[in-house]
């Protein structure tokens, strides 16, 4: 049984985590060239950005260790900003410029010379804090940060996913990679924790695509500051809708993109296609749960980590041969990070099933009031 770390209350009809029983305070920054005021302002900006665009991540913040909180906020903010590039630009060249900006920003932040950008400042502070906390033994992977940006850039303009496997690759290169970076922030180098992060990230990434399907299919008008010509008129008639379900699944279920764009939720084959994709996301959550169960039963996790050949995963011989007890200790340390996306993903998939896989159901767009309670339950029991 894990110790109780929070209390909850009901305010204005919604439920929020109100405070931690263990007092959490930010350590003063030791980043050269950055004042405490700059870091505090960057921290507040990133917190507000996450609250606005990724509320579940705000709810899950109390379960992140205090020394890794700046990394959590910075990485989540970068994830949001890079994901929103596609929503705030209508020209490929402008989108590419924004992505290059983020690659340069990541480089400068990790080099200790952040740009005047809140996420850059906070990432720099987090990198310095990690260096100090780990006595120089751990640092953020620039390759992993760039992998997220590069993957986002490849999907500007919403090109179709040819297969369900390509959706998994996208999720691995974004949401799983985000979890790998958070494990570095702890810092924790663990084969088992990384393996769990891969499955949870894939489930989260696939689910995110499903959640965004209505918005991508029927996008709002583009922002005028990126779509006006010299005379003030629009450069284009507005963004075209797209259906980001994998083409192989659409073919199997007889779903046509034109039908979705014309008929919406009533399109023949749509629910079958959504069911198939959602099942794959749920399978990854089931796999992660089975791995946890096997560890608690003093058994092997059950299968090999398929991304072990990635050059960023470097484990010592001792780490590769660690016994069950050590693996459980690693998972205990990482659990707050791992359950962060796992709990809201599982809740949304559950609601999707209750809606009979109608991804356009209005109820799926509302915040799930159960999330704080489910998060506390998951943390206190060590399972999600």
Note whether 305 and 194 are within 8 A (CB): yes
Compute the distance between CA of residue 307 and CA of residue 313 in angstroms, rounded to an integer.
Answer: 8
d(CA 248, CA 259): 16
Helices (H), 220-323: 247-253, 257-263, 270-296, 317-320
How far is the C-alpha of 105 from the C-alpha of 98, rounded, in Å? 10
Please say which residue of 103, 129, 157 terminates a domain: 157
Within a domain: residue 63? Answer: yes
Q: How many CB atoms lie within 10 A of CB 35?
A: 10
Question: What is the mean predicted confidence (pLDDT) over 32-36?
Answer: 82
Closest by CA position to 80, among listed 152, 12, 130: 152
Q: pLDDT of 69-126, one tens digit each?
A: 999 999 999 999 999 998 888 788 899 999 999 999 999 999 999 999 999 999 999 9
Confidence of residue 364 (pLDDT cuts 50, 70, 90): very high
Q: Please state, in angstroms and rounded to a whole number, the distance separating the CA atoms of residues 95 and 87.
A: 10
Instruction: Mark whether 150 and 261 lie in a shared domain.
Output: no
> Domain count of the chain?
2
Domain that holds residue 90: 30-157
Map residue 11 onto helix, strand or coil.
Answer: strand
Question: How would residue 22 be classed by pLDDT, with cut points 50, 70 and 90?
Answer: very low
- What confidence score (pLDDT) does residue 10 get? 30
Helices 69-88, 118-133: axis angle to 10 degrees equals 150
**Are 148 and 246 within one domain?**
no
- Same structural domain for residues 229 and 356? yes
Spatial contact of 328 and 296, defined as CB atoms under 8 Å apart: yes
Model pLDDT for residues 286-338, shown as the tens digit of each residue: 999 999 999 999 998 988 898 888 888 888 766 676 788 899 999 999 999 99
Last residue of a domain, one of 157, 184, 207: 157
Q: What is the total residue count of the chain?
A: 384
d(CA 95, CA 88): 9
Domain identity same for 68 and 168: no
């Amino acid at each position: 049984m894990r110790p109780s770390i929070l209390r909850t209350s009901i305010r204005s009809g919604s439920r929020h985590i109100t405070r931690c029983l263990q007092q959490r305070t930010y350590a003063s920054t030791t980043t050269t060239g950055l004042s405490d005021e700059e870091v505090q302002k960057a921290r507040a900006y990133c917190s507000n950005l996450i609250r606005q665009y990724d509320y579940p991540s705000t709810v899950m913040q109390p379960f992140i260790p205090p020394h890794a909180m700046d990394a959590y906020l910075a990485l989540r903010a970068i994830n949001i900003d890079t994901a929103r590039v596609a929503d705030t630009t209508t020209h490929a060249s402008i989108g590419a410029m924004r992505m290059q900006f983020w690659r340069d920003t990541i480089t400068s932040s990790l080099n200790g010379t952040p740009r005047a950008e809140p996420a850059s400042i906070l990432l720099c502070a987090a990198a310095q804090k990690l260096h100090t906390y780990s006595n120089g033994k751990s640092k953020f992977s620039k390759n992993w940060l760039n992998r997220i940006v590069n993957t986002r850039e490849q999907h500007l303009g919403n090109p179709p996913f040819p297969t369900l496997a390509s959706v998994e690759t996208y999720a691995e290169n974004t949401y799983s990679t985000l979890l790998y970076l958070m494990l570095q922030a702890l810092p924790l180098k663990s084969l088992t924790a990384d393996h769990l992060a891969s499955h949870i990230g894939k489930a989260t990434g696939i689910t995110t695509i499903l959640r965004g399907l209505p918005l991508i299919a029927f996008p709002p008008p583009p922002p005028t500051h990126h779509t006006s010509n010299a005379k003030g008129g629009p450069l284009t008639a507005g963004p075209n809708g797209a259906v980001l379900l994998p083409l192989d699944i659409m073919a199997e279920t007889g779903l046509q993109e034109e039908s979705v764009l014309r008929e919406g939720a009533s399109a023949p084959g749509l629910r079958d296609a959504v069911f198939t994709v959602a099942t794959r996301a749920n399978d990854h959550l089931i796999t992660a749960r089975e791995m946890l169960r096997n560890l608690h039963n003093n058994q092997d996790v059950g299968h090999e980590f398929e991304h072990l050949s990635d050059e960023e995963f470097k484990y010592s011989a001792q780490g590769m041969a660690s016994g069950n007890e050590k693996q459980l200790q690693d998972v205990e340390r990482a659990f707050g990070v791992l359950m962060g996306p796992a709990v809201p993903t599982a809740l949304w998939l559950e609601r999707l099933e209750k809606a009979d896989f109608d991804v356009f159901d209005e109820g799926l767009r509302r915040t799930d009031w159960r999330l704080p309670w489910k998060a506390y339950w998951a943390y206190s029991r060590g399972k999600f």
